[in-house]
Amino acid sequence: MHPAPSVIIFTTLSGLGFGLLAFLGLGAPDVTGWVAFTFFLIAYALAVGGLLASTFHLGHPERAWKAFSQWRSSWLSREACASVAALVVMGVYAIGAVFLDAQWWLVGVLGAALSLVTVFTTSMIYAQMRTVPRWKTGLTPLLFLTISVSGGALLAGRESLAPWLLALAGAVQVAWWVRGDGAFAASGTDLASATGLTGGQVKSFEPPHTGSNYLLREFVHVVGRKHSFKIRVVALMLGYILPVVLMILPLESVAAKHAFAGLAVLSHIGGVAASRWLFFAEAEHVVGLYYGKR
């Protein structure tokens, strides 16, 4: 699949933002006043910024509001509804924490649940696609959720919890890669099923056409195996290993701890962005068989 910058930004930032909102809703960190305002500002900037970035992948961004109308059948529509609900509920919770020095527990728990539901609905947009065997697995929502929760713990300053969650997310990421590498072959999809021709072995005599088109631009992206492996190493190092190391270093100075925590956050964001690029670039759509690209 074509790794469009808009969807990479969307899946990277919104997951982190909603992950942080989930922790804030659960009172971790337990903050009020201007400190709470800063945390909520960061969370909303990431979550809303990511959602806005996703609209740039639409042919007509001005029609994005129509995404709310198909919630009965579309995970994209469910994501839109869940994200607005989460942002509204957490907005109410933020008002109490910032301006009234109050933490409404029930509102916070509901907002945290809706934040994680939003991340789940985002993952299901991809996990339910039979045409992309690499995505069609229960590991896809698990990957999105563990990255979101671990990133949220990192941003929330949960020093004792974040390293464990990052290690878990890294393990899920590796498992997702290993399973995905054999997913297309295991799906049994071939040129015969892609073209609808049966009764014997199907071979492509010549390409369907000589020029490019929308399907080739959006659904057929080729990434070299060595190039892919290098990016995986970078994603694993920056997204999970380095942040864990930075978080567990024995530092005496509070300023040093904050500085290293900031570096851990930046490293994690860079690593997640790299893994999201691979998430799309390595996704083999069955339409590629029709064009002889596998």
Residue 164 has pLDDT above 80, yes or no: yes
Q: What's this model's pTM, rounded to 2 decimal places?
A: 0.89
pLDDT of residue 189: 77
Residues 1-51 pLDDT 10s: 677 888 899 999 999 999 999 999 999 888 889 999 999 999 999 999 988
Query: Model confidence at 254, in pLDDT bands (50, 70, 90)?
Result: confident
Share of the chain above pLDDT 70, in %: 84
pLDDT of residue 210: 65
Question: What is the number of structural domains in the chain?
Answer: 1
Distance (Å, whole) CA 244 – CA 294: 38
Q: What is the mean pLDDT of residues 110-135?
A: 94
Q: In this structure, what token pair is assigned to residue 290?
A: 């029709």
pLDDT of residue 192: 73
Residue 63 has pLDDT above 90, yes or no: no
Q: What is the mean pLDDT of residues 161-168?
A: 96
Residue 294 has pLDDT above 60, yes or no: no
Residue 218 has pLDDT above 70, yes or no: no
Contact 98, 7 (CB under 8 A): no
For the residues of the chain, what is the DSSP string, one character each? ----HHHHHHHHHHHHHHHHHHHHHTTSS---HHHHHHHHHHHHHHHHHHHHHHHTTSS-GGGGGGGGGGTTT-HHHHHHHHHHHHHHHHHHHHHHHHHSS---HHHHHHHHHHHHHHHHHHHHHHHT-TT-TTT-STHHHHHHHHHHHHHHHHHTT-TTTHHHHHHHHHHHHHHHHHHHHTHHHHTT--HHHHHT--SS----SS-S-SS--HHHHHH-----HHHHHHHHHHHHIIIIIHHHHHHHS----HHHHHHHHHHHHHHHHHHHHHHHHHHHHT---THHHHTT--
Residue 211 has pLDDT above 70, yes or no: no
Residues 136-158 pLDDT 10s: 999 999 999 999 999 999 999 99
Distance (Å, whole) CA 120 – CA 142: 8
Q: What's the CATH code of the domain at 244?
A: 1.20.1630.10
pLDDT of residue 62: 60
Q: Please list the alpha-helical segments (H only) found in 26-74.
A: 33-55
| Mean of pLDDT over the chain | 87
Query: Model confidence at 208, in pLDDT bands (50, 70, 90)?
Result: low
Q: In this structure, what token pair is assigned to residue 216?
A: 């080739």
Distance (Å, whole) CA 40 – CA 51: 16
Residues 112-123 pLDDT 10s: 999 999 999 999
Helix (H) or strand (E) holding 279: helix 254-281
Q: What is the mean pLDDT of residues 174-186?
A: 91
Query: Model confidence at 135, in pLDDT bands (50, 70, 90)?
Result: very high
Distance (Å, whole) CA 84 – CA 92: 12
Range of the domain at 87: 5-290
More confident residue, 171 or 197: 171
pLDDT of residue 276: 95
For residue 57, give the nearest of 6, 11, 117 by alpha carbon: 6
Contact 155, 55 (CB under 8 A): no
Distance (Å, whole) CA 107 – CA 263: 32
Distance (Å, whole) CA 146 – CA 217: 31
pLDDT of residue 209: 67
Contact 15, 148 (CB under 8 A): yes
